[in-house]
């Protein structure tokens, strides 16, 4: 961690809120969070601001000049019909978009005021600050439950203790269910548990932002409910961007909702307003089920 | 309306079903016959030759009298195949990792894959010939025939098998796992070593074993690279005996005792490969449980 980029993306450790404008690089690991203070349930997360984002898949221009911001410690839902670019936006925030052959993106994505697409920024550092949960649960099949949670820290050359794993599993509401079988394979869990394991894995690296790409779409209603309750909990420590095709879900979990159509932002606002009193007729048609 | 009765299976379908089932069962039987016969003859002809002395003495080379054992051939095969494996597996695995994880879709990757396919199809004797001309005739290393030259021929033979099988298995590793690792901030090489390779390991081991079994049974590349000798050699720059070469030499002799030695050596070779396979299975099972 000798290069300055990772530091630039790391949030200050101090429990006091930091003025967002004066962002100072700090020690690489947040010691306060690893100790007793880590049990503090509230933590100021960082805001995400997307400015004039454009993304392409080969020739296909799938995100067009999108500007959108996500408030810290809030859950923001991205809704829209298939192909509207919800997942792409999320994948642009942690620069996973560029992993797809032929895909590229341009514009600015600010985590507080550090640009993820800034010159010389290490993508690896970006992803360490931004956690991600995928549509289908994807625990590492060769690893135990414990090792799965520890993997994020181990893959980024950091030491892992039992406490780190327990904290992450508690954070994902899975601890009581797995505490007696931490050495068992992660893929032996049910689908819903696997998804919470993946959330624990993402939380273990203590990100500032958690991106959730349709995290419950492969799960049964009860598991879905658990994930939704979890989102409420997680907001206390991270900023959440959740993609969903389920409008009831958006209404249940999100503070703010953004409606996307064909790669453009139609409307964004408080969830309640978007669902009850949208200002754009297309939003109204979508949320009332007339299309999409 | 009364409930509609479902028609029973027609007599014709029943007949066809029986015929098809019988057909595949018969074909399976046909395939098993030569396999069973080979094993039966190996045991019948070879068991008689097996004794402690068989494994602890070198062949004498005497046409009449005591023919000795096969110690030099067992040692030679283990050493030469071992060296070939130590060279071919890391290189082959490296090529496969590059093809799947880094070079995917590039022109160079296509070219490399094409050459590997060609190499897979090259008859083993050609590798032997190549080594014979470049290393044996040229007297590289101050020797003519030598164990390490035999290993070189075997490694060349194993390389495409290891690469191709590893590539196929690496391609089977779900992309979701790579994405999960990248999203956690894992660098590429760590993703490969900590996530992709462990996931693909059982398949890679199978491919490696296949290559080892193939190399251990090859005669042609060894005949004119490591030669056939009686004495046990531990120096790779010396001529080295090997089981296939010993079998080849002994089985053509008009002397029953030598032919029996060949059968015993063949049984030994099969048993060695079998044990290797079982060992690998055991290790795999243990690692999956942890």
pLDDT of residue B285: 74
pLDDT of residue B38: 93
The arithmetic mean of pLDDT across residues A251-265, rounded, is 93
* ipTM exceeds 0.90: no
CB-nearest to B187 from A124, A131, A139 is A124
CB-nearest to A127 from B182, B190, B201 is B182
Say yes or no to pLDDT of A5 above 70.
Answer: no
Instruction: Check CB contact under 8 Å for B176 and A134.
Output: yes
The arithmetic mean of pLDDT across residues B58-69, rounded, is 84
| Displacement of CA A162 from its chain's centroid (Å) | 24
For domain B54-289, give its CATH number from 1.10.3720.10, 3.30.420.140, 1.10.230.10, 1.10.357.10. 1.10.3720.10
Chain A interface residues facing chain B, Cβ-Cβ under 8 Å?
Answer: 94, 96, 99, 101, 124-128, 131-132, 134, 136, 138-142, 144, 151-152, 154-156, 183, 198, 201-202, 205
Pairing relationship of beta strands A239-243 and A209-213 according to DSSP bridges: parallel
Say yes or no to pLDDT of B286 above 70.
Answer: no
In percent, the amount of chain B with pLDDT more than 70 equals 97
For B226-269, write each residue's pLDDT tens digit.
988 888 889 898 999 999 999 999 988 888 889 999 999 999 99
Report the residue count for chain A: 292
The arithmetic mean of pLDDT across residues B85-97, rounded, is 96
Instruction: Check CB contact under 8 Å for B184 and A205.
Output: yes
Nearest CA to B242 out of B25, B115, B78, B121 is that of B78
- Cβ–Cβ pairs < 8 A, chains A and B: 73
pLDDT of residue B206: 87
Higher pLDDT, B69 or B284: B69
CA distance B20 to B165: 33
* Cα angle B157, B159, B160; round to 5: 90
Say yes or no to pLDDT of A126 above 70.
Answer: yes
Please give the model's pTM, rounded to 2 decimal places.
Answer: 0.81
Instruction: Check CB contact under 8 Å for A142 and B174.
Output: no
**Is residue B172 left, alpha or beta, with left meaning phi > 0 and alpha meaning psi from -120 to 50?**
alpha
pLDDT of residue A14: 45
Write the CB contacts of A19 (distance below 8 Å, at least 6 apart in sequence).
none
Domain parsing of chain B, residue ranges: 11-49, 54-289
For B9-25, write each residue's pLDDT tens digit.
889 999 999 999 999 99
Q: What is the 3-state secondary structure (H, E, C) of chain B?
A: CCCCCCCCCCHHHHHHHHHHHHHHHHHHHHHHHHHHHHHHHHHHHHHHHCCHHHHHCCECCCCCCCCECCHHHHHHHHHHHHHHHHHHHHHHHHHHHHHHHHCCCCHHHHHHHHHHHHHHHCCHHHHHHHHHHHHHCCCHHHCCCCHHHHHHHHHHHHHHHHHHHHHHHHHHCCHHHHHHHHHCCCCHHHHHHHHHHHHHHHHHHHHHHHHHHHHHCCCHHHHCCCCCCCCCCCCCCCCCCCHHHHHHHHHCCCCHHHHHHHHHHHHHHHHHHHHHHHHHHHHHHHHHHC
Instruction: Check CB contact under 8 Å for A138 and B179.
Output: yes
Say yes or no to pLDDT of B219 above 60.
Answer: yes
pLDDT of residue A35: 38
pLDDT of residue A41: 64
For A275-290, write each residue's pLDDT tens digit.
999 999 999 999 888 8
pLDDT of residue A37: 38
Domains of chain A: 44-140+208-287 (3.40.50.300)
pLDDT category of residue A22 using cuts at 50, 70 and 90? very low
pLDDT of residue A3: 47
**Structure-block tokens of residue B121:** 């199809």
What does pLDDT average to over chain B? Answer: 90
pLDDT of residue B8: 85
Say yes or no to pLDDT of B272 above 90.
Answer: yes
Residue B111 half-sphere exposure, CB side, CA atoms within 13 Å? 3
Higher pLDDT, A67 or B202: A67
CA distance A61 to A107: 13
**Structure-block tokens of residue A48:** 């995400």
């Amino acid at each position: 961690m000798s290069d300055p980029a990772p530091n630039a993306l790391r949030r200050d450790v101090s429990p006091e809120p930091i003025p967002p404008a004066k962002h100072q690089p700090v020690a690489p690991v947040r010691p306060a969070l690893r100790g007793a203070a880590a049990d503090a349930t509230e933590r100021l997360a960082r805001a995400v601001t997307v400015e004039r984002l454009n993304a392409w898949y080969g020739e296909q221009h799938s995100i067009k000049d999108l500007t959108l911001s996500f408030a810290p410690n809030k859950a923001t839902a991205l809704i829209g019909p298939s192909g509207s670019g919800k997942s792409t936006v999320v994948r642009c925030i942690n620069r996973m978009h560029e992993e797809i052959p032929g895909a590229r993106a341009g514009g600015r994505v600010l985590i507080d005021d550090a640009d993820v697409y800034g010159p010389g920024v290490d993508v690896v550092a970006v992803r360490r600050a931004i956690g991600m949960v995928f549509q289908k649960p994807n625990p590492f099949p060769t690893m135990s439950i414990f090792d799965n949670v520890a993997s994020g820290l181990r893959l980024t050359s950091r030491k892992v203790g039992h406490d780190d794993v327990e904290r992450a599993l508690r954070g994902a509401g899975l601890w009581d269910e797995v505490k007696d079988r931490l050495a068992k394979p992660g893929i032996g869990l049910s689908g819903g548990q696997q998804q919470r394991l993946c959330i624990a894995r993402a939380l273990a690296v203590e990100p500032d932002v958690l991106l959730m790409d349709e995290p419950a779409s492969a799960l049964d209603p009860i598991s879905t409910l658990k994930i939704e309750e979890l989102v409420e909990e997680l907001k206390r420590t991270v900023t959440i961007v959740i993609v969903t095709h389920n409008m009831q879900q958006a209404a249940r979990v999100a503070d703010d909702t953004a409606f996307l159509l064909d790669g453009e932002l139609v409307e964004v606002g408080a969830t309640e307003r978007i669902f009850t009193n949208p200002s754009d007729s297309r939003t109204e048609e979508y949320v009332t089920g007339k299309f999409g | 309306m009364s409930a509609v009765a479902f028609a029973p299976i027609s007599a014709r379908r029943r007949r066809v079903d029986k015929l098809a089932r019988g057909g595949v069962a018969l074909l399976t039987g046909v395939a098993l016959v030569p396999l069973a016969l080979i094993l039966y003859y190996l045991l019948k002809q070879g068991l008689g030759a097996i004794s402690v002395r068989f494994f602890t003495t070198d062949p004498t080379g005497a046409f009449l009298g005591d023919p000795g054992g096969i110690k030099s051939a067992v040692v030679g095969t283990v050493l030469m195949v071992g060296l070939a494996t130590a060279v071919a597996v890391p290189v082959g695995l490296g090529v496969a990792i590059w093809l799947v994880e880094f070079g995917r879709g590039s022109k160079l990757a296509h070219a490399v894959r094409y050459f590997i396919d060609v190499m897979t199809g090259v008859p083993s004797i050609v590798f032997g010939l190549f080594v014979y001309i470049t290393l044996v005739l040229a007297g590289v290393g101050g020797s003519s025939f030598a164990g390490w030259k035999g290993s070189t021929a075997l490694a060349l033979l194993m390389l495409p098998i290891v690469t191709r099988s590893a590539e196929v298995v690496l391609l089977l590793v779900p992309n979701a796992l790579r994405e999960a690792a990248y999203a956690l901030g894992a660098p590429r090489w760590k993703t490969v070593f900590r996530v992709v390779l462990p996931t693909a390991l059982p398949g890679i081991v199978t491919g490696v074993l296949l290559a080892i079994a193939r190399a251990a049974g090859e005669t042609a590349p060894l005949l004119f690279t490591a030669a056939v000798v009686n004495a046990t050699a531990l120096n790779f720059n010396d001529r080295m005996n090997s089981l296939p070469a010993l079998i080849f030499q002994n089985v053509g002799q008009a002397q029953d005792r030598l032919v029996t030695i060949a059968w015993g050596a063949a049984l030994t070779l099969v048993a060695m490969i079998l044990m290797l396979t079982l060992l690998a299975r055991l290790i795999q099972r243990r690692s999956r449980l942890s």
